[in-house]
Amino acid sequence: MNFKQMSAEIEEQMIHFRRRLHEQPELSFQEFQTTKFIFDTLKNTNIKLEVCSSGTGLIGLLEGNGDGPTLAIRADIDALPILEETGLDFTSRIPGIMHACGHDIHTTVLVGTALLLNNIRDSFKGRIKFIFQPAEETMQGAKQMIEEGVFLDPPIDHIVCLHTWPFTEAGKIAVKHDAIMASTNRFEIEVYGVGGHAAHPHKSVDTIPIAAQIVTGLQQIISRTLPPLEPAVLTIGQIHGGTADNIIANNVKLSGTVRTLKTEVSDKIKETIEEISEHTAKAHSGSAKVTYYPGSPPVINNRRMVELLAEAVSENLGEDSLEYLPEASLGGEDFSFYLQHVDGMLFRLGTGNETAASQKGLHNPGIVFDEKSISTGIQAMCSFAVKYLNQ
């Protein structure tokens, strides 16, 4: 199967498709035009399409030739509240909204993959479910797709997705065994004391120094309670308390985020945040209440799927086109909600080149994604899917 030639044949159409998406970015759960555009591009195929009841997001089902497993391929389709500064011809026409995470590239790669696999549906067994998911940026979209019954009728055996990666060269695929992205959790700490006159601290319980000690104490969780080789981040992003210079604040609110690669590490951090906060406050005659908001779990790649991807990429794009990432990213991805139901894999699509603009980080208002990556993504996804379904 010559995926290189097949993807070259639709490359121009796909770049045109991507630029249209880029010009018309839509925020999470507002992807109505994007959904319609995907639907219209795929409607004259053998793919059975179903738009989600919210009107944003859709699922396509393509039957192959005979019995076999069901592979789901997911792309996220939403944009970010960022004012674009790339100066591209096809720059966002919606002020303050931009495809700065490359979800327009993800969507285009999945549409291209769907078009090609539709043409060669006799050459693989089983079936493919194409998931165009809204609202990844707010971490709510995968939950919607699961509630809509994405795992039913037919059930899914494995799931795969890709994400743009400016730090890998365009034309290349990057992957990693096991953990590739982190769990994200939020926490809030309310410290309570007794307010009073700034001149009479002995008649009050001052929550500002208590909060300061809690902040310092929490910094020791990573360095003193976790194994030294265990990656984790604890950031306190906000602290609010007090109303005037001559008033002792009777409460302070702190909040932040915790990123880990293992659920048990996140659980340990949660427990320790509670202990340090409550006991520190108590030691100074105050009290503290911790609320922990679980976000998305870590993304853990299935080893067999990573091996199949490595084989598919080597055979179709060449051995040099695959690189193994030395470490996971502590960013989060709501793809992990699917992985609570079935095994799967997330891999990286290189979008960098020699220009500085292409090497800016994701979510940067000036980032420019190398469009060469679209064809690479389509080839990688198609060859992986066929290999997986015929194994």
Query: What residues make contact with Ni ion under the rule CB under 5 A?
Result: 101
Q: Report yes or no: 309 and 347 within 8 Å, Cβ to Cβ.
A: yes
Q: What is Dmax (Cα atoms) for the chain?
A: 83
Query: At closest approach, how far in Å is the CB of 196 from Ni ion?
Result: 48
Q: Order across the sheet with 251-260: list the strands.
A: 232-241, 251-260, 183-192, 287-294
- What DSSP element (H or E) covers 259? strand 251-260
Query: At closest approach, how far in Å is the CB of 136 from Ni ion?
Result: 6
Rounded to the nearest angstrom, the gap between the alpha carbon of residue 2 and the centroid of all alpha carbons in its chain is 31
**What would the two tokens of residue 352 be?**
């960098």
- What DSSP element (H or E) covers 306? helix 303-317
Smallest Cα–Cα separation from 50: which of 60, 37, 35? 60
278-292 burial code (b ≥16 CB/10 A, e <16):
bebbeeeebbbebeb
Using CB atoms, what's the residue nearest to Ni ion?
A: 101
Nearer to Ni ion among residue 156 and residue 362 (C-beta): 362
Nearer to Ni ion among residue 30 and residue 45 (C-beta): 30
Nearer to Ni ion among residue 101 and residue 109 (C-beta): 101
* Eight-class DSSP state of 222: I
Instruction: Match 């086109």 to its residue by tokens.
Output: 321
Nearer to Ni ion among residue 101 and residue 322 (C-beta): 101
The span from the CA of 343 to the CA of 134, in Å, is: 21
